[in-house]
Amino acid sequence: MSYETKERLDKKLDNCTTLAKVFELVKEAVKRFLNMHRAGLMLGLADLGMKRGYFIGAFHPVGSNIIVVNRTPLETALQTKERRIFNAYCFHLFLHEYLHSLGYIDEDEVRELTCEVCRLALGNDHPATIMAEKGITTYFPEVAYLPLDDHSNRMKRGLSEMELIDLKTPDYIK
């Protein structure tokens, strides 16, 4: 299905004011373009840190009902002062992990689906699509994703102090 046949979500995403609203758009996009959804999923914030500019943006523990978002790069992205770029980063990140929560385990397949859903929902030129295709370094050149297994001890410490995001109230985005 081409995005011309359905309302694109780019303007809605650009105007989101909470992480919860961005996450709702992710779920709407997946429902529209992949005809899949998952209820009861939570978002959590944990300080998983960064290591010399490398970081894990988020992860979904297989079999769980949570997406764990790394607070450190999220706060770094928030400092861009551009809501559109921050929202694009969150959309791209949440979408990738949401696809994992739907049972897609293979990273290459998830990256491909993330690109496709971003393209269909937001258009080719939206920052989230560009991040999905070319990586976040296009907008954040000083950072890059770190492979999950290189960060396991920090993850364990961060998870012990995880904060759940209330998906019904305002939060990070200013």
Quickly count helices (H) and strands (E) in the chain: 7, 6
| Beta strand pairing call for 144-145 and 54-55 | parallel
Contacts of residue 9, Cβ cutoff 8 Å, sequence gap at least 6: 25, 28, 29, 121, 122
pLDDT in tens, 89-108: 999 999 999 999 999 999 99
Q: Is 47 helix (H, G, I), strand (E, B) or coil?
A: coil
pLDDT, tens only, 118-170: 999 999 999 999 999 998 888 887 665 555 554 455 555 555 555 666 665 55
Lookup: tokens for 41: 């999923």
Per-residue pLDDT band at 66 (split at 50, 70, 90)? very high
Q: What is the mean pLDDT of residues 34-57?
A: 85
- Taking alpha carbons only, the member of 119, 121, 124, 59 closest to residue 94 is 59
Query: Positive or negative CA dihedral for 77, 150, 131, 140?
Result: positive
Q: What Å distances lie between residue 86 and 11, 92, 116, 149, 160, CA to CA?
A: 14, 10, 20, 26, 26
Domain ranges in the chain are 3-165
| Residue 150 pLDDT | 47
